[in-house]
């Protein structure tokens, strides 16, 4: 049975591309491979996770307890969005939606783990796909003239990348900007800051980049499986035992450079 699907299938999507079928073999291999390992939390962490979900559920009905944090849910599937060129990331693993503080406590076969991720992945990919290296000291999220938290900058960048129209000030943005004019000034300054790839903004580019990063993730997973390394992906980050940290780092660096030609950073 294929380990891929299209959500909100558009009319005329056509047959499954050969590249998708080929990478499906990696997903199905992974779903077999991962059964020999056990990824779980210490008992006290499970209790703390349950307490945090109860506290987060303002309805008092503890619906957050049904979000799938079950260590039997280890099988992955690729999900595309409307066409074979959009999305394609891996979903289904119970660890993927887990708060990062709890993911840091995960154990593989009782051994402590580490999570490595690609630094500034989508901004870097945009530049590389335009034939440009990403400067060693260049930070896409540091906009000259503005003192904005990194998470806010990253959210604004992602909105620019994923939207198909001009983004505007939202209610949650008002915690960081005095009014819509201040937000608009920041938005426009970020576009100018990233001028070499600005033509990709507000054009639904994000979903197409997700297809690229999903292929990268599958290449990393395949590299780990080839070496017998238990690995658990969270889109552009990967969890392994601490003793496999450096090997994972090298695989991530090698696979990125092989796919994109350019070097990257892993943190």
pTM above 0.85, yes or no: yes
| DSSP category for residue 63 | G
Q: Which residues contact 159 (CB under 8 A, 6 or more apart)?
A: 167
Higher pLDDT residue, 246 or 2? Answer: 246
Average pLDDT over residues 70-75: 90
State CA 175 to chain mean position distance: 26
Contact 125, 258 (CB under 8 A): no
Query: What's the confidence (pLDDT) of residue 47?
Result: 87
107-108 vs 39-40, strand pairing mode: antiparallel
Q: For 140-184, what is each residue's pLDDT tens digit? A: 999 999 999 999 999 999 999 999 899 999 999 999 999 999 999
Inform me whether the pLDDT recorded for 18 exceeds 60.
yes
For residue 219, which of 162, 176, 186, 258 has the smallest C-alpha distance? 258
Q: How far is CA 189 from CA 115, 141, 184, 243, 244, in A?
A: 33, 11, 8, 43, 41
Alpha carbons 89 and 91: distance in angstroms, whole number: 7
| DSSP category for residue 171 | G
Alpha carbons 74 and 68: distance in angstroms, whole number: 11
Average pLDDT over residues 6-23: 82
Query: What's the confidence (pLDDT) of residue 136?
Result: 80
Query: What's the confidence (pLDDT) of residue 54?
Result: 80
Query: What's the confidence (pLDDT) of residue 8?
Result: 67
Q: For 98-122, what is each residue's pLDDT tens digit? A: 999 999 999 999 999 999 999 999 9
Q: For 34-58, what is each residue's pLDDT tens digit? A: 999 999 999 999 989 888 888 877 7
Q: Which residues contact 184 (CB under 8 A, 6 or more apart)?
A: 168, 169
Alpha carbons 175 and 92: distance in angstroms, whole number: 34
């Amino acid at each position: 049975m294929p380990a891929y699907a299209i959500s909100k299938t558009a009319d005329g999507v056509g047959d499954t591309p050969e590249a998708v079928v080929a990478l499906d073999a990696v997903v199905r291999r992974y779903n077999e491979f991962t059964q020999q390992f056990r990824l779980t939390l210490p008992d006290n962490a499970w209790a703390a996770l349950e307490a945090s979900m109860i506290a987060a559920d303002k309805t008092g009905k503890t619906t957050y307890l049904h979000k799938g944090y079950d260590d039997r849910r280890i099988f992955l599937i690729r999900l595309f969005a409307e066409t074979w060129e959009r999305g394609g990331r891996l979903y289904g693993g119970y660890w993927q939606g887990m708060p990062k503080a709890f993911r840091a406590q995960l154990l593989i076969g009782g051994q402590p783990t580490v999570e490595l991720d690609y630094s500034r992945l989508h901004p870097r990919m945009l530049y590389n796909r335009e034939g440009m290296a990403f400067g060693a000291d260049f930070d896409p999220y540091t906009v000259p003239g503005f003192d904005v938290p990194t998470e806010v900058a990253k959210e604004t960048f992602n909105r620019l990348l994923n939207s198909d129209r001009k983004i505007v000030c939202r209610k949650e943005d008002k915690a960081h900007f005095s009014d819509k004019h201040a937000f608009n000034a920041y938005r426009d300054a970020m576009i100018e800051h990233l001028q070499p790839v600005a033509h990709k903004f507000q054009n639904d580019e994000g979903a197409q980049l997700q297809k690229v990063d999903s292929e990268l993730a599958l290449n990393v997973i395949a590299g780990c499986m080839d070496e017998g390394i238990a690995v658990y992906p969270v889109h552009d980050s990967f969890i392994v035992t601490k003793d496999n940290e450096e090997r994972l780092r090298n695989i991530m660096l090698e696979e990125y450079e092989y796919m994109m030609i350019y070097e990257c950073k892993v943190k």
